Structure 1
């Protein structure tokens, strides 16, 4: 008898859904993020916009001096950080999951979890004088910043999608999308809106080959042909017994615009090659899910047949264009492990969840039946 161990973590996706094949397998929050696709640089702009608009339009009383002491974060002098809280929850730019706290919401979007940040009054721009939480010396910026996405009602999927103005970042109004070629082309005149999801993205290079039931296919071609039968691990796979099954694609994702991406090209001792974005999850020889950016020479990756292969080179490259990903219909962690270029890697359900899942054990070794608790 064998066991596999997996853990459930929560989060959202960030790319445009190209191929929803089976209804009901994806949450409405994930769907909303798929539609509202931003690159990391665009995500930063959105997060900055949301903070600025919350401060300028939804504080009561208004003004930089109307801060409260944070209950979550300290400044570098170990005093409670200066926080602002949005008052009208029916038109808030920060989500109720963060208590409508403007600076905390911004920090969650931009930085990995940290209790201490540098708190400084802004000296330029529309929010001059407002206190902002900036990185402290030990702060780690998210490689894939989070950003809010909006609708006219809660929960996600129940209302009309809304977007900031596509070019004017000083405009705090929201816009509907009546033209599929442009997000946010018609002014929304209603007074109520909500943050319905927080989104993050990370994807494959277009030439990366994934294993489908009929063989390996570059993901860009699979998107174009809308191939369905993706190969994944079985739910009871372990390090000692790696088994594959034919699963089904729920959706493909791609960014809506060409942009520049940092890629990691990983070469192995027997000629294997992976080209992944920095946050893309890969299974190592210990059965752990790790980021491509964290791999180094002499690490070992796990192949689809369960054998290990040593990394001999990790190089940073850039790619200008679109990057892609997919989700299987299944939601558990083990069956969301795919095969790319012969190696085990995570699907979009991993990197669209909070990056805290990295380095967790996905596969353990088989446990003899006589050692299992009864």
Structure 2
């Protein structure tokens, strides 16, 4: 029986963009590129957002409610807090948490910090500015935390980008300068989470297939190449077909940082070197993260030939990493060829980020533009 690549990826296709999201997506990427953080900096940003949301917009440790989005270790609903400013203004015009999940402070902190899970350890803090507030924790942290970026208006790219102070975690004010210099934005001013950001995942020496053959992704980005090769939408596992697509955007970090790298070698002599969370297509036609692969698992070459992994080496890369998104948005057309193997574009890696950003974008869409 022919197994279509489209079927394993149908869930991704079901998460269609809201109106106008396609126009706003480059602005989100630009916002993240101009607010690019290392994993350590991102962790500080996430902690600060939770702390400031609690002490400025919750105020009372007893003002918790039972979340329907997560459980504690006893399988009871986890205790969470909502930023109360949203009760005054439905847009939440002074909030440190995003709107996709209703300004739920602990949920956003846990979602950005830990691997996806519905189960957390929930306990009251005993020290610091948020003593007595309940906090969620887990042992599995994201290698690449997801952190909020702010503007002074709800619609991304239409206002002034705002930044927390880069070194003072006790400063809940926001600044128009990323260095935290100058006069901070007044406490009475509006500020919104307009996107959640995550870094890219190709090392600069990675080669991706373009119309004229493999090309170094960094050089392709510098040249502005658009002629990327992807799977065609009618491809199946038995008969993958390649087609020339068009690059929608490249992503790059603005700062050097350290990344976990997996080097996968296969029985054919092939080699794939990507970050730990890079999406890779396996023999069953499923996208999996590189860090989940082990010796004996089979990758798919561009012609559909399975190729068994014979060694997995973990290392680090210090510097910037890169990625790209094709113009086509269907899942199959977002399967690229990297060093001979079928892998996912940035749309797969950032799916959970983009889902929340699509909800965030919803706030900025005029009512008359929405479907009735």
Q: Is the structural similarity TM-score above 0.5?
A: yes
| Cα displacement (A) at 1:64 | 2.7
Gaps in structure 1 of 5+ consecutive residues: 13-22, 358-374
Aligned equivalents of 1:312, 1:281: Cα separation in 2: 19
| Cα displacement (A) at 1:53 | 0.7
| Cα displacement (A) at 1:120 | 1.9
Residue 93 in structure 1 maps to residue 91 in structure 2: no
Residue pairs, 1:210-225, within 5 angstroms: 210-225=208-223
| Cα displacement (A) at 1:47 | 1.0
Residue pairs, 1:327-366, within 5 angstroms: 327-354=325-352
Aligned equivalents of 1:140, 1:188: Cα separation in 2: 35
Deviations 1:170-194 (A, max 9, x none): 21111224xxxx5665533461011
Gaps in structure 2 of 5+ consecutive residues: 86-91, 356-372
**Count of equivalent residues:** 338
Higher helix share: 2
Stretch moving more, 293-302 or 39-48: 39-48
Correspondence for 2:321:
323
Correspondence for 1:123:
126
Specify whether residues 74 and 290 from structure 1 end up closer, same or farther in structure 2 by C-alpha distance, changes over 3 A only. Answer: closer
Contact 2:200 2:252 in 1 (8 A): no
Aligned equivalents of 2:208, 2:164: Cα separation in 1: 35
Paired residue secondary structure (2:148): strand
Correspondence for 1:133:
136
Deviations 1:35-68 (A, max 9, x none): 4323332221111110011011112xx2333333
Specify whether residues 278 and 268 from structure 1 end up closer, same or farther in structure 2 by C-alpha distance, changes over 3 A only. Answer: same
Residue pairs, 1:1-374, within 5 angstroms: 4-5=5-6, 6-7=9-10, 8=12, 24=23, 26=25, 28-59=27-58, 62-88=59-85, 89-135=92-138, 140-177=140-177, 182=178, 186=182, 187-189=184-186, 191-354=189-352
Specify whether residues 207 and 201 from structure 1 end up closer, same or farther in structure 2 by C-alpha distance, changes over 3 A only. Answer: same
| Cα displacement (A) at 1:156 | 2.0
| Cα displacement (A) at 1:34 | 4.2
Stretch moving more, 232-241 or 106-115: 106-115
Specify whether residues 221 and 84 from structure 1 end up closer, same or farther in structure 2 by C-alpha distance, changes over 3 A only. Answer: same
| Cα displacement (A) at 1:4 | 4.6
Contact 2:148 2:196 in 1 (8 A): yes
Deviations 1:131-190 (A, max 9, x none): 21122xxx633333221121111222232222212222221111224xxxx566553346
Aligned equivalents of 1:292, 1:107: Cα separation in 2: 23
Specify whether residues 79 and 287 from structure 1 end up closer, same or farther in structure 2 by C-alpha distance, changes over 3 A only. Answer: closer
Contact 2:26 2:249 in 1 (8 A): no
| Cα displacement (A) at 1:119 | 1.9
| Cα displacement (A) at 1:30 | 4.6
Deviations 1:212-260 (A, max 9, x none): 1122122122223222211111111111221111212122111111111
Contact 2:279 2:349 in 1 (8 A): yes
Aligned equivalents of 2:258, 2:287: Cα separation in 1: 25
Aligned equivalents of 1:256, 1:159: Cα separation in 2: 21
Aligned equivalents of 1:329, 1:80: Cα separation in 2: 41
| Cα displacement (A) at 1:288 | 1.4
Aligned equivalents of 1:67, 1:194: Cα separation in 2: 22
Q: Which has the higher contact order (CA 8 A, sep 6+)?
A: 1
| Cα displacement (A) at 1:351 | 0.4
Aligned equivalents of 1:196, 1:259: Cα separation in 2: 24
**What RMSD in Å do the two structures reach over aligned CA positions?**
2.7
Aligned equivalents of 1:77, 1:26: Cα separation in 2: 40
Specify whether residues 126 and 157 from structure 1 end up closer, same or farther in structure 2 by C-alpha distance, changes over 3 A only. Answer: same
Aligned equivalents of 2:203, 2:263: Cα separation in 1: 10
